[in-house]
Amino acid sequence: MPVEVRLPTVLRAHADGQASITADGATVGEVFTALIAAYPAFRENLLGDDGDLHRFVNVYVNDDDIRYLQQLDTKVDDGDVLSILPAVAGG
């Protein structure tokens, strides 16, 4: 199922400058697998060494934070929008 993946400015360089791309998958994890297969540089930005979501990345399916759902096992449907937002810290 095609899902739109919206990328923040900091990650667009890994996707030929595109603001959004389309990837297939039934879950967020499957979409990430497809995304990483097409653009391998995303791996270190999205996933930790253990294969789980990097703790400094927030991911939303439509408007829902996947950390409060099933994380990488969160189901996605055709036409859903997956937004990737790096966590911002400051003081």
Whether the model pTM is above 0.85: yes
pLDDT by 10s per residue, the chain, length 91: 799 999 999 999 999 999 999 999 999 999 999 999 999 999 998 998 898 998 889 999 999 999 999 999 999 999 999 999 987 765 5
Beta strand 20-24 with 2-6: parallel, antiparallel or unpaired?
antiparallel
**Predicted pLDDT at 89:** 63
The SS3 assignment for 20 reads strand
Domain ranges in the chain are 2-86
Other C-beta atoms within 10 Å of 27: how many?
18
**Predicted pLDDT at 56:** 87
**Predicted pLDDT at 90:** 58
CB 53 within 8 A of CB 72: yes
Rounded to 5 degrees, what are φ and ψ at 44?
Answer: -70, -20
Domain 2-86 has CATH 3.90.1150.10: no
Cα(9)–Cα(18) distance, integer angstroms: 9
